Structure 1
């Protein structure tokens, strides 16, 4: 039940913050430039996501061919995926978080939190995985 409350809160808070960001930036730059910036960040972000995603896929293939489990690489792939989703959404805050998820130098910050979250879920038994 708590998860649903957070989801509902995010559904209302995120658009409100993004709308405030649009209004704030547009008051300084004007609406056309603001829309151009939002469009440009989305395109640049999607190109970065595509490039980084290909790199992660290549790294994971190499690791699997060497007989290693691509654990860190899989977490990088998750970060890139969620960063790409955030970059698709219009807005400055979601773009900022999306860029930091996709950019390789800032991705380790999220990887640590993601690893702790997965470990907690596995200990609780709410996160399970199946083997073939």
Structure 2
């Protein structure tokens, strides 16, 4: 009896796993080094990072909800707000984790200039995913003769314009 080999995880997943395994060791080494330099103030610095993390998470969640409500009230898509909120929350969580390396990463993530950079990276990443088959847009009216009713991937629908026209062609 032969078994099929399991698919290998992508490189980025394996790298992330290795970093996650090494992170506690790196954090302990950095905390010990900082302890030798500033002594007991190390504990105060770690507590300050934790408190900053709590503040960032609170402000990010309340601010994101307020910005999303504002975007919805203005009838515009909340794309920027949706992109910025997770980054601020991840930055806050990294500040909560005891250690200076994770706190430094958290501070970098919550800086306003980094938000625009990460927003662009996210657009590229999501755009690449959508372009490789994650989403396929099909002109429903053009392929109507090729669609089978029993096809599980076909969703029957109707386009209704804002002014009530049914077919979306402007007639």
Structure 2: which 5+ residue stretches go unaligned?
Answer: 1-8, 137-171
Q: How do 1:1-132 residues align onto structure 2 when only pairs under 5 Å count?
A: 1-2=9-10, 3-30=12-39, 32-125=40-133
Shift of 1:7: 3.3
Q: Which has the higher contact order (CA 8 A, sep 6+)?
A: 1
Aligned residues: 127
Contact 2:49/2:103 (CA < 8 Å) preserved in 1?
A: yes
Runs of 4+ deviating beyond 6 Å: none
- SS at structure 2 position matched to 1:106: helix
- CA deviation string 1:75-96 (max 9, x = no partner): 0011012112211211111111
The structure where helix makes up a greater share of residues is: 1
Give the TM-score, by structure 1 length.
0.82
Q: The residue matched to 1:21 in structure 2 has which SS?
A: helix
Q: Is the 8 A contact 2:88 2:110 kept in 1?
A: yes
- Tell me the alpha carbon deviations over residues 39-88 of structure 1, each in whole angstroms, 9 at most, x when there is no partner: 11110222123123322211111111221110111000110121122112
Structure 1 residue runs of 5 or longer lacking an equivalent are: none
- Structure number, greater radius of gyration: 2
Within 1, Cα distance between the matches of 2:97 and 2:77?
32
TM-score, reference length from structure 2: 0.65
Q: Is contact 1:79-1:101 (8 Å) kept? A: yes
RMSD: 2.1
